[in-house]
């Protein structure tokens, strides 16, 4: 694609050298940018946690070049996991499997399981192939903040704390991978993400449940996460807009009346913006409209950029209408719900 940055073999080799000496490399994936470290180097992992500002009992995903490397990390690969890997890798799917003993506790947060994924992004795959091992990588943002979808986002958030940033242009999917826990009697979706639930169910041939949020203490599953500085409010869709389906994703309700809320917030001198597929009718003129995505897939691609834009504009409050919770819309609704929960206790 013209205009898309394409790190060449020399840049990839330099990044591999950074990983080998225990450094941190930020790299693009199809979902969000990752902050990578050698998954077998406990000192590098300690630095990774320190830079993220993340509690050390939270596991990180190990990225692999291909499914053949599964056996190096997983003690057992159940049939369902094998089918999902065959159907979805490379792609935005993370499998949680029983780990092999060699996987450091620093990767798994001391759990008996490990999260594994093969990303579908040429720069990520070039890096993984050249490195030849697993790269542990959480999203390349500080703990609790908005995930980065461009190299510039990474630099703005992590600055000099990252040794190398590979620029692969903006992320194609825009929300994190779907996590499927395959360690129990039935596969369970532990985080909705880039592979729609419908696709997981089609591959497995039966319904798959989404684990109750908060049931496992892990970043990305905490209720208050993915938050910009601006307070995020989930509001009702305007007339004519596709309604969120509250049944399809628990926690996404119809929200509150956007017009009344906008008047109340503006009345206290706050700056207010709105993000929606269809901007609700009747909003006061002072409400700043962030460019509406055309559909759920575009919403996923731009949602983090729009949350950052809200902060860059200096908005105090962002009214958001979640998309219908089907396809990638479910992941977008999930992230917006968490962003809204992050500000819920704030007295202002
Ligand atoms: O799309 C993605 O998954 C991105 C890119 C960089 O690959 N990565 C990402 O990583 O979102 P992070 O660290 O921000 O979120 C990882 C999620 C966390 O919710 C973590 O709890 C879960 O994966 N996870 C990792 N290993 C796990 C394990 N062994 N058991 C349960 N959950 C695990
Ligand atoms: Mg994250």
Full set of structural domains in the chain with CATH? 9-204 (3.90.870.10), 231-341 (3.40.50.11030)
- The answer to whether 20 touches 38, Cβ cutoff 8 Å, is yes
148 lines ligand 1 (CB under 6 A): no
pLDDT value, residue 144 = 79
237 lines ligand 1 (CB under 6 A): no
pLDDT value, residue 148 = 97
Distance between CA 181 and CA 209 in Å, rounded? 11
Q: What element of type H or E holds 232?
A: strand 231-234
HSE-CB of 14 using CA atoms within 13 angstroms: 11
Write down how long the chain is. 348
Phi-psi region of 311 (alpha: psi -120 to 50; beta: other; left: phi over 0): alpha
- Extended beta strands in 103-192, E state: 113-117, 135-136, 164-165, 178-181, 188-191
CA–centroid distance, 79 to ligand 2, in Å, is 28
Residue for token pair 């542990």: 136
pLDDT value, residue 243 = 55
* CB within 8 Å of 114: residues ≥ 6 apart: 59, 62, 73, 74, 96, 97, 98, 99, 100, 103, 107, 108
Q: What is the model's pTM?
A: 0.93
180 lines ligand 1 (CB under 6 A): no
Per-residue pLDDT of the chain (348 residues; tens, 9 = 90+): 567 888 999 999 999 999 999 999 999 999 999 999 999 999 999 999 999 998 888 999 999 999 999 999 999 999 999 999 999 999 999 999 999 999 999 999 999 999 999 999 999 999 999 999 999 999 999 987 899 999 999 999 999 999 999 999 999 999 999 999 999 999 999 999 999 999 999 999 999 999 865 444 454 555 556 688 999 999 988 655 555 554 444 444 456 889 999 999 999 999 999 999 999 999 999 999 999 999 999 999 999 999 999 999 999 999 999 999 999 999 999 999 889 887 654 332
Residue 78, SS3? coil
Q: What's the maximum distance between 2 C-alpha atoms anywhere in the chain?
A: 60
114 lines ligand 1 (CB under 6 A): yes
Distance between CA 308 and CA 232 in Å, rounded? 12
CA–centroid distance, 61 to ligand 1, in Å, is 5
Look at ligand 1, atom 19, and give the residue with the nearest C-alpha: 220
108 lines ligand 1 (CB under 6 A): yes
CA–centroid distance, 269 to ligand 2, in Å, is 33
pLDDT value, residue 167 = 98
93 lines ligand 1 (CB under 6 A): no
59 lines ligand 1 (CB under 6 A): yes
- The answer to whether 329 touches 296, Cβ cutoff 8 Å, is yes
Which atom of ligand 1 lies nearest, measured to the CA of 179?
23
- Rounded alpha-carbon distances, angstroms, from residue 289 to 105, 264, 281, 319: 46, 17, 12, 10
pLDDT value, residue 346 = 37
HSE-CB of 91 using CA atoms within 13 angstroms: 17
pLDDT value, residue 57 = 87
């Amino acid at each position: 694609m013209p205009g898309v940055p394409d790190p060449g073999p020399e840049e990839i080799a330099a990044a591999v050298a950074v990983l080998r000496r225990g450094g941190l490399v930020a790299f693009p994936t199809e979902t969000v940018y990752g902050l990578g470290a050698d998954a077998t180097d406990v000192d590098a992992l300690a630095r990774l946690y320190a830079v993220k500002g993340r509690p050390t009992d939270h596991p990180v995903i190990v990225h692999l070049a291909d499914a053949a490397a599964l056996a190096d990390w997983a003690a057992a690969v159940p049939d369902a996991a094998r089918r999902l890997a065959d159907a979805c890798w490379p792609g935005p799917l993370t499998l949680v499997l029983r780990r092999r003993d060699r996987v450091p506790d620093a990767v798994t947060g001391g759990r008996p399981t490990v999260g594994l994924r093969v990303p579908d992004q040429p720069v990520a795959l070039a890096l993984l192939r050249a490195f030849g091992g697993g790269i542990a990588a959480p999203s390349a943002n500080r703990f609790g903040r908005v995930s980065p979808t461009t190299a510039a986002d990474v630099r703005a958030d992590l600055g000099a704390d990252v040794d190398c940033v590979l620029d692969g242009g903006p992320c194609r999917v825009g929300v994190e991978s779907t996590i499927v826990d395959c360690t129990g009697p039935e596969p369970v979706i532990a985080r909705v993400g880039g592979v729609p639930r419908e696709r997981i169910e089609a591959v497995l041939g039966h319904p798959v449940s989404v684990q109750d949020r908060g049931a496992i203490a892990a970043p990305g599953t905490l209720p208050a996460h993915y938050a910009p500085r601006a307070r995020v409010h989930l509001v009702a869709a305007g007339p004519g807009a596709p309604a969120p389906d509250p049944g399809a994703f628990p926690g996404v309700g119809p929200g509150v009346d956007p017009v009344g809320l906008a008047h109340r917030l503006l009345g206290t001198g706050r700056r207010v913006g709105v993000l929606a597929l269809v901007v609700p009718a009747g909003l006061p003129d002072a409400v700043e409209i962030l460019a509406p995505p055309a559909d759920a897939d575009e919403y996923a691609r731009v949602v983090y950029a729009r949350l950052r834009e809200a902060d860059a504009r200096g908005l105090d409050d962002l009214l958001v209408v979640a998309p219908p919770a089907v396809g990638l819309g479910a992941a977008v609704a999930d992230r917006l719900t968490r962003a809204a929960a992050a500000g819920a206790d704030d007295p202002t």
